[in-house]
Amino acid sequence: MTLHTSHRRLAVCLSIFLAVLSMNAAAIDPGTVKGQLTYKGKVYTLKHVYAWQPYAQTEELWVYLTDAELPAAAAQSMGTANQLANENRFRGLQLRINPVQPNLKSITAVIYTPGSRPTVGISGTEPRWQRLLVANNRVVGNLQYKSPDWSLEAEFSAPVFGSTGKMQTLSGAQAQQSPQAAVFLAYEKALNWEGIDAAGAYMTPEKLAEWKADLKQVGADGFKEFQTKMRKSTAQGEARRKQIEKLVVDGDYAVLETKSHAAQLVKTKDGWKVAQHYGN
C-alpha cells in the first residue's frame, strides 16, 4: 500500500467517523424553543420544550412549551404536571399532536397559567404552521395561532422521548401466556391474599412506595377491607388468566388489559415489574 493510498483511506475513515458523530449529536441535540404564549392579557415567554409520546399508543405526542424547565417525570404524567402548575413552578402549554398523521387544522392544547388549566382547541383556518415534522425521534414545529382568548407564537425542535413507535399487540392465548401476564397474575394474587410486602417482588420500587403510602393513609383495617373486596370480585387461577384480553409491548414497556383492570409494566434488570395498576 502506498503512503498516498494510506492517507486517502485514513481521510475516508475520518470523514465517515465525523459523519457518524454528527448524526449521533443530532439525534441527542437538546430541545430549543423561542416564542410566547399570551393568555388573558398576560404574556409568558417560552424558554423550554419537552416532547413525550406515551408508551403503547400512537395517537398522541405531548409537546410542552414552558417558561421554566419541566422535569421529565412531570412531563410524562398529566397529574404531576398539573400539581407543579398549581405550585406555580411553570407556565406554558402542552400541544397534543398525532405523531403519525398530524391534523394541522385540529390540535388540542392544555394551557398552564395561574388558577387555570383549560383544554382548548387549535382549529379552523387560524393555525398557521410554517413547519411541523415528526421523524427520527424528533419533532420540529413553527406555529402562530390567535383567538379572542389567547395566542401563541412558537418555534421549537425537540427529541421525542417515550414510545418506540414499534409496538407488538397480542391477544387471546398469546397475551394470556406472556411473561407480562405471569407477573401481573402473581402480583395481583400476592396483593389480594398476602399483602403489600409479598406483592413487592412483582412491582417497581416506585409502585411499592405508592402502595405503602396508601397503607399509611387507610390503615391496616382499611387495607384488609380492600383485600376482602378484591378477593370476592376477582376470579382466581386460570379463570383470571382467561380474562386477559390484550397485551401491547412497546420496547421495555407494556400495557396489559383484562375485563376489569389494566396494568402498566416495565422491564427492569430483574425482569418485568408492575408500574401501575388501574381498575375499570
> What is the residue extent of each domain of the chain?
29-162, 168-279
Residue 110 pairs in a beta bridge with 94, 119
Between CA 264 and CA 273 the distance in angstroms is 9
Alpha helices in 114-160 (DSSP H): none
Residue 74: strand, helix, or coil: helix
pLDDT in tens, 107-157: 899 999 877 788 888 876 667 888 898 988 899 999 999 888 899 999 999
Residues with Cβ within 8 Å of 184's Cβ and at least 6 positions away in sequence, in order, are 202, 244, 256, 263, 265, 274
* Residue recorded with cell 382549529: 123
Grid look-up 458523530 returns 21
Q: Is the pLDDT of residue 5 over 50?
A: no
CATH code, 168-279: 3.10.450
- CATH second-level architecture of 29-162? Beta Barrel (2.40)
The yes-or-no verdict on residue 20 having pLDDT over 90 is no
* pLDDT for position 122: 84
pTM: 0.68
SS3 content of the chain, % helix, strand, coil (to 5): 35, 40, 25
Angstrom distance (rounded) from CA 29 to CA 53: 17
- Return the pLDDT at 192: 95
Domains 29-162 and 168-279 share a fold: no
Main-chain phi, psi angles of 182, to 5 degrees: -60, -40
In tens, the pLDDT along 226-279 reads 999 999 999 999 999 999 999 999 989 999 999 888 999 999 999 999 998 887
* Confidence at residue 78, expressed as pLDDT on a 0 to 100 scale: 80
DSSP string, 1-53: --HHHHHHHHHHHHHHHHHHHHHHHHHTPPPEEEEEEEETTEEEE--EEEEEE
Residues in the chain: 280
* All three cell numbers of 58: 400512537
Residue 125: what pLDDT? 64
Predicted local confidence at residue 28, as pLDDT: 60
Q: 3-class SS at 187?
A: helix
pLDDT at 136: 86
Q: Cell match 387461577: residue?
A: 237
pLDDT of residue 215: 92
Degrees (nearest 5) of the Cα angle 64, 34, 95? 25
Do 84 and 70 meet the contact criterion of CB atoms below 8 Å apart?
yes
Q: Are 67 and 47 in contact (CB under 8 A)?
A: yes
User: Residue 237 has what DSSP assignment?
Assistant: H
Instruction: Please report where in the chains the cell 424547565 appears, as a residue.
Output: 69
Give me the mean pLDDT over the 31-56 stretch.
94
Alpha-helical runs (H) found in 76-146: 78-86
pLDDT, tens digit, 9 for 90 and up, residues 169-222: 999 999 999 999 999 999 999 999 999 999 999 999 999 999 999 999 999 999
Closest CA to 99 of 121, 132, 71, 75: 132
